[in-house]
Chains A and B, each alone.
Chain A
Amino acid sequence: MRICFYPGCSYASTAGYKESTEAVCQKLGIELVVIPDWNCCGATVMFGENKLRATALAARHFALTQAMGFEEIVTGCNACYATLGKAARLLNEDAELFIKTKDVLQALGLTLDRIPKIRHLFEILTKAMPDAPSERYRSLSVGAYYGCQLTRPHQFLDKGGYPEILETFLERIGFAVTDHSARTQCCGASHAVIYKDECRNLSARIIREISDKGAQIITTICPLCQFNLDQAQTGDLTPRIPVTYFTQLAGLALGLSATSLGMNKLLVSAEKVISRP
C-alpha cells in the first residue's frame, strides 16, 4: 500500500516518531510517499490570523496531492490533522473560498480541483496492524493519552470527551490498558514554549493521573503531547513514567527493537518497563 504522507514540522525532530513510523510502516508493507516541498500546515495560529491565507497554506498540499495522483493525505500529527481537516471542510462548504483559494494556488502554478480526504496515521495503522502479533506485553499497562485535537472540535474519529479508540487499538495489538481521566486534558500544547511553568503544571497533572491509576507507560498520538509530557518529568513534580508514541508500541508488538523505533531518544527511559513488563 502506498500512502501520501504529510509529516508536519515536529515529525522528524521528536523522540523517535519518524523512526518508529517508518519502521512500522516498512514492516507492514506501507510505503510512505512524502509530499515533496511540503510547508507548514499553519497550525492553530493561522486561522486566527486570516482565513484565506490559512486555507491556502493548507490547501497547497491538496493541490500537491492531486498532482501526485492521491485521493487522501495521511498525517501523524493531531494539529496537522485538525488544521488540514478544517481547511478541507471549509473548502467543501464554502464555494467562494474554494474559488479564491484556487486563484491563490494558480498563482503558484498549482491546480486544485478536488479536496482530498484527511486521514490520521492512526487510522491507517488501526487497519493494517494484525491482532496481537505478540503476547509479550499482555501485562504491560498502558495509559493512552489523546491530547486535544484528535477528537475535538470535530468528532470524526471518536467522541470528544471520553474517546476510547486508542484503548481498543492497544488491547487488540497485545497490551493492557489503564482507564484514566486525563485522556483529552490539555498538555499546554505550544504554549509550553512561552508559559513554561504553567504548562509544566498542566502536563504534570496528566502524568500524575495516569500514573496514579496504575499505568506503567504512557502512549501518545501527537508529537507535541509526547514532548510536553516527557519533558515535564525533568523536575520533581511527577513520578517517572516513560512517554512513548503509539507507533513505538505498535513496533514493539511487531517485534522490532526499541532502538530501531527511536526509543533511545525518550527523556524518561522505557528500557526497564519494556524489558520486563
Chain B
Amino acid sequence: MSDQTKPRIGVYVCHCGMNIAPKVNVEDVAAHAGTLAHVVVARDYKFMCSNPGQDMIINDIKSLGLNRVVVASCSPRMHEKTFRNAVKSAGLNPYYFQMANVREQVSWVTHDSMDATEKAKALTAAAVSRVFFHQPLSTREVPVIKSMLVVGGGIAGMQSALTCANAGYQVYLVEREPSIGGHMAKFDKTFPTLDCAACIMTPKMVDVLQHPNITLHTYSEVEKVEGFIGNFQVTVKKKPRYVDMEKCTGCGTCMEKCPSKKISSEFNEGLSFRTAIFTPFPQAVPNVPVIDAVNCIVLGKNKKCGACAKFCETKAIDFEQKPEFLTLDVGAIIAATGFQAVNPTHLEPYGYGRFPEVYTSLEFERLNNATGPTSGKMVMKNGQIPERVAIVHCVGSRDVRHKKYCSRVCCMYSMKFAHLLREKTGAEVWEFYIDVRSPGKLYEEFYNRVQEEGVRFVRGRVAEITDMTDDPNDKGRLTVVAESTLTRRTVRLPVDMVILSVGLEPAPGAEDLGRLLGVSRDGDGWFTELHAKLAPVSTPMNGIFLAGCCQGPKDIPDTVAQAMGAAGEAIALLSRGMVTTQAEISHIDPDLCIGCKSCIGACAYSAIGFDEARRVAVVNEALCKGCGSCAATCPSSSASVDHFTDRQIMGELERLV
C-alpha cells in the first residue's frame, strides 16, 4: 500500500427495518466482521441511511480515526451516494467506502435464514477486503454548456423545448419530418374533454417557431452524439428540402402547379393525395414546402419539369440543394421521438387492406378531422354515412402474438370515436373490448357518458372481420365475428364500417437514436428510464432525458407532464452550471506500458492516444468513460480503471468464496 497510514476500517450492518433483519442475523454479521483484519469497529443499526445512522459513521471516523468504511445494506445503486457523502462530510475521501448489498442480493432473495446470514458475512468480508485497497480519488468540476437539444417535435418535444426556452436557455429542436406537430396535429378532438386539438396545438407550434430561444431544425436528423453530460457535441443532418427557407413565402403556388398530384398523403394516412412538392398539412410549421425527391419528375425521374421553379416568384426552388451537417454544442439532450401506430396488415383475420371499410384509428382521426380528406365528414368510401360501426379494441396490443403490453390510450380514443360518431352521424356504435381501461381524471366519467349515449359494449376479442354475410340483405356490409364472453354467445354483427384501435409501438429509428445516445431500450423497444418510479424522465446516461411516448405509451396529459418534467431536469442541470467529472476513469502506467497499442483498438471512445516520443499509450481523461476495455486487453497490466483496479477486484474475489 502506498498509504502511510494503516487502514482502520469501520463496518456497519443495516437492519433496514424488517427488510434485512431478521432474515439475516445482522448481529452475527457485525460480530463476524469485527474479527476481520484491520476492522476497528463493527456495528449494526436499524436504518444506516437515516441521519442517526450516518452520524454514527461520521462520529466513528472522527473519534476512532477510521480511514475506511464498509456499509452492508441495500444496493449501491440506491445509497452509495448517500454514504459517500457521509464519509466525505467527516473529512475522508469519499472513495474510501465500499458497500455490500445484503438486501437485494441476500435477504430478499434467500429462503433460508442461515444461508442468508452466511452469504451476508461473505459479501461483507469481501467488501472489507476490497476497501483495504481503495485509493483516494478526486473529481473535477467542468462547466455545463447552457443550451440543450430536443429530438422530436411532437407535443412532447415542443413542450420540453418551450419550457426550457422560457427558462432562458437556448434550445435546438430537431424534427425529422418537414413540420413539427407530430401525431397530435392529426387529431381533431382530444379525450375526455373533447377540446379541439388544433385549437390547443397550432398556437403552440407557432410559439415554438417564434420563440427567440428556440432554433428549429425540421426535416433534420441526429447523426452523431459525442461528449458527456454538460458537454455534448451533436451532429445534425439537415436533409435537402430543395426549397430555400429564407426565400420561400409559403404562398403555395408551387403545390398548385406541381403535376405529380397522385402521391399518397402520409399525413392523411393514405386517404388522400398530395403533390411532389408539399407541406404535410396546411398549418405546417414552418410553412415551407419540401420536394419529395423520389416522386419529383426532375429529381426522381430525371426528366424535364420544373413547374414549381417556373412559377415561384421568389426563386426559392433549388434543385441543387445538398444535405447540410451542423454541429451543436449542448449541455443536455431530451429524447422525445414518440411512437408509431401498429400496422394491422399482418393481422389477416381483421382484413385491413382487403376491405376498404376497415380503418385504423389514425385513419379515422383523419376522417373525423376538418382538415382531413373528407373535411371532417364521417363517410364511407362510397360517400354514404355508416349506419352501424364496430370499434375493435386491443388490435396488436395485449396479445402474446404481437405486443404484450396495454397501449393505454386505445380504450379512451375508441370511446371518443364512439361519442363523435353518435354525435355526427347518429350511427349505432359497437365497441368490442377485452377490458375497458379508463384510469385518469374524468376518464371513467367519459366511459359512463358514452354508455348513456347508447354506445354498445361487447366484452370479447374480435376473431374475424369478414365480408361473408348470412343474410342476403346485408350483402356488401362487413360482419364482425366475436365471442361475447359475458353472454357466452358468438356474435356475428353486420356493420358498415370497422375501426381498428391499433396499439402503439416505438417510432421507427428509435433503435438508432438509442444507440447514438447510449440509452438502452426495454424488450418492447421503449427507452428505459433510470428508475421506474423515482427517475421516470432520466436515463442511465447522465444529461440525457426522456419525454413522451418514446419511454412508453401515454396519453397527451401524461406526455405533457413528462415533457415538463424532462425540461425541469434539464433546466436543473443547466442552471447548476457545473458538473462533476467521473472519478472512475482509466490510467495507463507509462513505466509498464509496452506500447503495443492493443488498448487503442479496444477503446470504443477513441480516448487513448499514443505518445510517439515515449512510445506509450496515454488516456485522454475528458473522453474516457471508465469501461475498462483497455484494462482487460492490456497484456502488461499497465492500464487500469480507478476504483476497479486488479488489486481491488482480486481483493473482493479472495473473500467471496
Contacts and interface: CB of A to CB of B under 8 A. Distances in A.
- In the complex, is A directly touching B at CB under 8 Å? yes
Interface of A: 159-162, 181-182, 185, 205, 209, 212
A209 B470 CA distance: 9
Contacts of B470: 205
B349 interface: yes
Contacts, number: 21
Contact of B468 (A160, A161, A162, A182): A182
Nearest to A182: B468
B466 A160 contact: no
Contacts of A209: 468
Contact of B348 (A161, A185, A205): A161
A162 B353 CA distance: 12
Contacts of A162: 348-349, 351, 354
Nearest to B464: A161
A161 B467 contact: no
B36 interface: no
B535 interface: no
B347 A181 contact: no
Interface string B334-364: 0000000000001111010010000000000
B467 A160 contact: no
Given A161-B347, A181-B468, A182-B468, 18 more contacts: A159-B346, A159-B348, A160-B348, A161-B348, A161-B349, A161-B464, A162-B348, A162-B349, A162-B351, A162-B354, A181-B351, A181-B466, A181-B467, A185-B468, A205-B468, A205-B470, A209-B468, A212-B475
Interface string B458-500: 0000001011101000010000000000000000000000000
Interface of B: 346-349, 351, 354, 464, 466-468, 470, 475
15 contacts: A159-B346, A159-B348, A160-B348, A161-B347, A161-B464, A162-B348, A162-B349, A162-B354, A181-B351, A181-B466, A181-B467, A181-B468, A182-B468, A205-B470, A212-B475
Which label, helix, strand, loop or mixed, suits the secondary structure of the B interface?
Answer: loop
A182 B468 CA distance: 8
Contacts of B464: 161
A160 B349 CA distance: 8
A205 B479 CA distance: 13
Contacts of A161: 347-349, 464
Contacts of A205: 468, 470
A162 B351 CA distance: 8
A182 B466 CA distance: 9
A71 to B, nearest CB: 32
A181 B348 CA distance: 11
Contacts of B349: 161-162
A165 B348 CA distance: 15
Q: Which of B354, B464, B466, B468 has the most CB of A within 10 A?
A: B468
A241 to B, nearest CB: 15
Contacts of B466: 181
A161 B354 CA distance: 12
Contacts of B467: 181
A161 B465 CA distance: 11
A42 B653 CA distance: 57
A68 B346 CA distance: 41
Contacts of A185: 468
Enumerate the 7 nearest inter-chain pairs by beta-carbon distance, A residue then B residue, closest first.
A161-B348, A162-B348, A161-B349, A209-B468, A181-B466, A181-B468, A181-B467
Contacts of A182: 468
Contacts of B354: 162
Nearest to B346: A159
A160 B464 CA distance: 12
A159 B354 CA distance: 14
Nearest to B354: A162
B570 to A, nearest CB: 46
A113 B629 CA distance: 46
Nearest to A209: B468
A205 B466 CA distance: 12
Contacts of A160: 348
B380 to A, nearest CB: 19
A182 B349 CA distance: 11
The winner among A161, A162, A181, A185 for most chain B CB atoms within 10 A is A181
Contacts of A212: 475
A212 B475 CA distance: 10
Nearest to B470: A205
A209 B354 CA distance: 16
A164 to B, nearest CB: 10
Contacts of A159: 346, 348
Nearest to A161: B348
A177 to B, nearest CB: 15
A109 to B, nearest CB: 42
B218 to A, nearest CB: 38
Contacts of B347: 161
A205 B471 CA distance: 11
A101 B468 CA distance: 45
A29 B126 CA distance: 76
Nearest to B479: A181
Contacts of B468: 181-182, 185, 205, 209
A209 B351 CA distance: 16
B34 to A, nearest CB: 51
